[in-house]
Structure 1
Amino acid sequence: MSRHWTRRFIMGGLGAMLVPAGVLAAPPQVSLRPRSRGEEFGRQARGGVDGLIARAGLSGQAVCAVADVQSGLELEASGGDRGLPPASVAKALTALYALETLGADHRFTTRLLAAGPVQSGVLKGDLILAGGGDPTLNTDDLAALAADLKQAGVREVRGDFLIYEAALPVVRSIDPEQPDHVGYSPAVSGLALNFNRVHFEWKLAGKRYAVTMDARTGKYRPDVDIAQMKVVSRSLPVYTYADQKGVDQWTVASAALGKGGARWLPVRKPGAYAGDVFRTMARAHGIVLKSARTVERLPAGATILAQHDSTTLQPILKDMLKYSNNLTAEMVGLSASVAHGRRPDSLKASAAEMSRWAEQRFAMKGTLMVDHSGLGDASRMTAQDLVGALVQARKQDMLRPLLKPFKLRDSKGRVNRAHPIKVAAKTGTLNFVSGLGGYMTAADGTELAFAIFVADTDQRKRIPRAARERPKGARGWNYKAKSLQQDLIERWGALYGS
């Protein structure tokens, strides 16, 4: 069942309590009659919000809620207390969690440590690359650290080259139910590089393929040994993955390659990946390191030789919301849980800590997350929970400046830049799951907070794991879901903002 109160009725009623009796007794200066809102509004209003949802023709469930930002009053809801998978809309909650726990000016630090003295350019001990949870670390940053190591006077390392990635739990895949080859579900740890993705490129040379696996940026393209690819004569499966002697070993079907192309593949051993690339960068400066070895603890008394500090948290979160980067969400969420005083041993444990925080901070009693990115479809969030959090967050202007504009479209699907309603929101998309939550400003300047979740969890469960990248029917279902989201936004703009 839906609930519907017009903002004009509520605000008018509150205002009438404050108006002197003499003013109420005076005749109106102009004729009072309803404002004509046109045929489109009539179509949207027919049957209320439940009628609008029914006409969308979507399988599964659709829930929504909308509230006035200034008063905090809920204006309309349908199934708003029913939890559904939020998909990447969850990242809005993760951003709030990280901002409040870590602070907008927090920086993540990656360090080079010496476990031993440096004498006459020789480190007589181990060199340690220690991750500090930076989700934005890239090959350029490791190159700069290698140059800083040389600048610190180190020319030779007599001991081992150690990798410390245990500042955060080590997780093989954000969502193990995803296909092995999708770049949006990489491994997670306290040390990440290039969003834990490796660049795979292939070119047909005669009758054979030339392939590369590298850690490229715009400036560098170092080959890696930790991830290897073999082209196999077959049609399906397109990719296979195996952990072979500490190496990410991939195969790809030759029938799927064509003449050439490239894609990013996930890294399953992030610490070893970063160590592999750093060895290459150090060698370019004449510093030869042994193969990297991972350690669970940092040695006592290690000294800092060089360090790289990330940018501050706020722009990191803005990019996370803009590009919907799953690894960033997981790493900042885990870092926030560690700072919260609990040492989680998994994404689920950390997400549960975030859920407890959300209940205490925003009274989100119907929300239980299994990760920080929304990739896991077992997460549940209610529309009313999110709207309540959005209203409270707006008072401190915590989230809206980080959200990207959501463009409304015309009847032909084209972006309508002249649309009178302006939206800043976080989208969320999984196969047969679609979410949208954020803020909308109506034509008259009224600001509303809203959340819309649509999901067909039964149909999603029937998708084979190997087909989850592009399952049949998901694209058309998603189009209908997005059309419903715009219809609801336009309904609310007409009802409460004109």
Structure 2
Amino acid sequence: MQELLGFAVGHLLMNLWGRSPAPLQPVPLVAWQEAKIFQVPTEPDPVVEKIVADYLKQLASLGVSSAQQGVWIQSEWAYLGEHGANIPASAASLTKVATSLAALATWGTNHRFETLIYTVGPVKNGILQGDLIIQGGGDPLFVWEEAIALGNQLNQLGIRQVKGNLIILGRFSVNFQSNPQLSGELLQVGLNQRRWTPSIEQTYRTFPPKTPRPQVAIARQVKVENTLPTNAKLLMRHQSLTLAELLKKMNLYSNNAMAQMLADELGGASVVAKLAAQVAKLPPGEISLINGSGLGVENRISPRATVQMLMTIEQRLGDNPLEVKDLFPMAGRDKKGTAQLRNIPDGVAFKTGTLAQVSALAGVIPTQERGPVWFAIINYGNNVDRFRVEQDRLLQRLAQHWQLIPLESTVKTNPTVNLGDPKRNIPQQS
């Protein structure tokens, strides 16, 4: 009604000014679904479907049952190819995708685990008159580098000898050891260069030149206790790498101990599975876990659920510069760990999984035509090495089908992450 009234008023004014209004020109109408902004591929891709079919035929020619193989490939908008995609299968280290998602949902990318260092008694002439207490906070990557840096900080704070015991509290692990007593004994060695083993000497050579060698001698024993003494004084906070940095190292090397420690911090495998399913909005029954690492055929995830979890990780990283490729290995950039000896197209971020009869691969392909294309492949059979070869060939064929985004456009310059960085040892005010 308002539009008609406006038109009538305009027509009347034109007449008053002695001019006839120009005839209205027809305006071409475009259906909303035909606008360019909505021109997104939403149909299955016959070429991809044929590539998947050829892949399954090749496995069948090797005597592998197609019924035990799972494939799911999709873009942000469309299914592209699949086989047994919603059937939970032994996923091996694809389990770490679920652990990564649950950890991100709980803590966020910048979370750091803290190890607290306490003293009991005064420090006189470089000697702590009582006990040195280490209260663990679940750091899954406290290794020799961290012990060396911690020892040097203790020296800077005036402690070169501990007259009492080295006491371990809480969830403290050194070099992925789950036994707190053994972890304490390893720390005792790492803090004192006079007791260093050849492996610690080798680690020390990775530090910048002229880095001091720590000397903190523990006079008495290593003990594991349950309660912090009331007279303990907080001396220092040791912070881990950020969660994002920890996940990258865990996934690059597919480190089972790190994954399990993170899962334990979250509350166990059942909590990881439940949280990952909730956050990724997975269909009931497509994820079932017995641990956070993937060790054991009882860890079962469908290919489709694996892709959905990876896509959810990408979505949760939307508020910061990080992407999935920053938490997982990427072909062409990463040369160590599980990225070795694979023929995956450059720029593809991926996670591998291997057990005695399981080979799995999942990740994202950066394409010009379809945007990110997500995939998961889970193979079961007696020829794991050949499975890897065929997985890589499948990805190479997909790369030939689409134009991939060049690696130099994909890789960002990230600051170097250094284990043993002294800045993560934070002294507390007296």
Q: Same fold by TM (over 0.5)?
A: yes
TM-superposed CA distance for 1:437, in Å, is 0.7
Of 454, 459, 463 in structure 1, the residue corresponding to residue 379 of structure 2 is 454
* Alignment match, 2:269: 351
TM-superposed CA distance for 1:380, in Å, is 0.8
* Alignment match, 1:425: 350
Cα offsets for 1:231-276 (capped at 9, x unmatched) = xxxxxxxxxxxxxxxxxxxxxxxxxxxxxxxxxxxxxxxxxxxxxx
Supply the distance in 1 between the matched residues of 2:80 and 2:343 (Cα, whole angstroms): 26
- Aligned to 1:159, the other structure's residue is in SS state coil
* Alignment match, 1:18: 33
Supply the distance in 2 between the matched residues of 1:402 and 1:489 (Cα, whole angstroms): 20
Q: Cα–Cα, structure 1 residues 367 and 116, in superposed 2: closer, same or farther, change >3 Å?
A: same
* Alignment match, 2:261: 331
Cα offsets for 1:365-397 (capped at 9, x unmatched) = 311112222123221111111112222333344
Supply the distance in 2 between the matched residues of 1:109 and 1:153 (Cα, whole angstroms): 22
Q: Cα–Cα, structure 1 residues 83 and 300, in superposed 2: closer, same or farther, change >3 Å?
A: farther
Kindly indicate whether residue 119 of structure 2 is the aligned counterpart of residue 114 of structure 1.
yes
- Aligned to 1:130, the other structure's residue is in SS state strand
* Contact 1:190–1:331 (CA under 8 A) maintained in structure 2: no
- Aligned to 1:353, the other structure's residue is in SS state helix
- Aligned to 2:395, the other structure's residue is in SS state helix
Cα offsets for 1:376-423 (capped at 9, x unmatched) = 32211111111122223333445233222247xxxxxx9779x6x842
* Contact 1:61–1:455 (CA under 8 A) maintained in structure 2: yes
Of 203, 207, 216 in structure 1, the residue corresponding to residue 200 of structure 2 is 216
* Contact 1:135–1:192 (CA under 8 A) maintained in structure 2: no
* Alignment match, 1:232: none
Cα offsets for 1:112-159 (capped at 9, x unmatched) = 211344466554432212222222222243233233333333455443
Of stretches 379-388 and 481-490 in structure 1, the one that deviates more from structure 2 is 481-490
TM-superposed CA distance for 1:53, in Å, is 4.8
Q: Cα–Cα, structure 1 residues 358 and 144, in superposed 2: closer, same or farther, change >3 Å?
A: closer
TM-superposed CA distance for 1:193, in Å, is 6.4
* Alignment match, 1:24: none
Kindly indicate whether residue 223 of structure 2 is the aligned counterpart of residue 293 of structure 1.
yes
- Aligned to 1:92, the other structure's residue is in SS state helix
Q: Cα–Cα, structure 1 residues 484 and 294, in superposed 2: closer, same or farther, change >3 Å?
A: same
Supply the distance in 1 between the matched residues of 2:221 and 2:146 (Cα, whole angstroms): 20
- Aligned to 2:304, the other structure's residue is in SS state helix
Higher strand share: 1
Letter in 1 for 2:305: D
TM-superposed CA distance for 1:428, in Å, is 1.1
TM-superposed CA distance for 1:99, in Å, is 2.1
Q: Identity over aligned residues, as a percent? A: 27
Q: Cα–Cα, structure 1 residues 187 and 153, in superposed 2: closer, same or farther, change >3 Å?
A: closer
* Alignment match, 1:405: 330
* Alignment match, 2:359: 434
Supply the distance in 2 between the matched residues of 1:217 and 1:327 (Cα, whole angstroms): 24
Q: Cα–Cα, structure 1 residues 155 and 406, in superposed 2: closer, same or farther, change >3 Å?
A: closer
- Aligned to 1:153, the other structure's residue is in SS state coil
Of 272, 289, 299 in structure 2, the residue corresponding to residue 369 of structure 1 is 289
TM-superposed CA distance for 1:443, in Å, is 5.9
* Contact 1:136–1:193 (CA under 8 A) maintained in structure 2: no
* Contact 1:111–1:307 (CA under 8 A) maintained in structure 2: yes
Letter in 2 for 1:58: V
* Contact 2:252–2:328 (CA under 8 A) maintained in structure 1: yes
Of 316, 322, 328 in structure 1, the residue corresponding to residue 246 of structure 2 is 316
**TM-score, normalization by structure 2:** 0.65
Q: Cα–Cα, structure 1 residues 84 and 153, in superposed 2: closer, same or farther, change >3 Å?
A: same
**TM-score, normalization by structure 1:** 0.57
- Aligned to 1:480, the other structure's residue is in SS state helix
Letter in 1 for 2:139: D
Higher-Rg member (1/2) = 2
* Contact 2:168–2:223 (CA under 8 A) maintained in structure 1: yes
- Aligned to 1:308, the other structure's residue is in SS state strand
* Alignment match, 2:300: 380
* Contact 2:114–2:238 (CA under 8 A) maintained in structure 1: yes
Kindly indicate whether residue 377 of structure 2 is the aligned counterpart of residue 483 of structure 1.
no
Cα offsets for 1:264-295 (capped at 9, x unmatched) = xxxxxxxxxxxxxxxxx87x35x442121111
Of 307, 312, 316 in structure 2, the residue corresponding to residue 392 of structure 1 is 312
* Contact 1:114–1:302 (CA under 8 A) maintained in structure 2: yes
Letter in 2 for 1:327: A
Letter in 2 for 1:54: A
- Correspondence list, 1:84-233, <5 A: 84-118=89-123, 122-154=127-159, 156-164=161-169, 166-167=170-171, 187-188=177-178, 215-220=199-204
Q: Cα–Cα, structure 1 residues 190 and 311, in superposed 2: closer, same or farther, change >3 Å?
A: farther
Supply the distance in 2 between the matched residues of 1:378 and 1:325 (Cα, whole angstroms): 19
* Contact 1:422–1:442 (CA under 8 A) maintained in structure 2: no
* Contact 1:368–1:380 (CA under 8 A) maintained in structure 2: yes
Supply the distance in 1 between the matched residues of 2:261 and 2:220 (Cα, whole angstroms): 28
- Aligned to 2:270, the other structure's residue is in SS state helix
Where structure 2 has 5 or more consecutive residues not aligned to the other structure, the ranges are 1-29, 36-44, 188-195, 206-212, 318-322, 333-340, 405-430
Letter in 2 for 1:142: A
TM-superposed CA distance for 1:297, in Å, is 3.1
Q: Give the aligned CA root-mean-square deviation in angstroms.
A: 4.0
Letter in 2 for 1:93: A
